[in-house]
Structure 1
């Protein structure tokens, strides 16, 4: 095996590892949104990743991700909230004012 082949295999391995890491962060965001809505008596409608990039904030290099989730407070209206993650750690959750029953 040449140095070029070894480098190629390392790059492929790194890409696969990062794919699984981002997928894991998305699953954590979905779980967090479900728990957040249950805790605040909201109906979770959907979760989607809006942005993902590498960030060096908070002392280590990790993925910064923004997720949008849609929810309803009364079963009729639809609102969008945002969740911000660094790695699998939630940094902030923001919701607009919403109507409840």
Structure 2
């Protein structure tokens, strides 16, 4: 095995690991939002990733992600909120004023 082959295999492995890391962040965000909506008696309608970038916050390199989500409080209206994460740590959850 040459050095070039080793670098290629390490790059493939690192890319695969980062893909699964981003998937884990997405799944944990969905679970968090499901729990959040159930706690506040809201109906979760959709979740989408707005942006993801590499960050060095909190002393280690990790993904800084922002997710948009839509929810309903009475089944008729639709509101948009936002969740910000670094890794799987929730940094901020913004929910607009909504009808109860």
User: Equivalent residue for 1:81?
Assistant: 81
Following superposition, the deviation at residue 83 of structure 1 comes to: 0.3
Following superposition, the deviation at residue 2 of structure 1 comes to: 0.5
The two structures have a TM-score, normalised by structure 2, of 0.98
Q: 3-state SS of the aligned residue for 2:38? A: helix
Following superposition, the deviation at residue 58 of structure 1 comes to: 1.3
Any unmatched runs of 5+ in structure 2? none
Which residues in structure 2 correspond to 1:19-98 (within 5 Å)? Answer: 19-98=19-98
Following superposition, the deviation at residue 23 of structure 1 comes to: 0.2
Any unmatched runs of 5+ in structure 1? none
The two structures have a TM-score, normalised by structure 1, of 0.97
Q: Size of the alignment, in residue pairs? A: 100
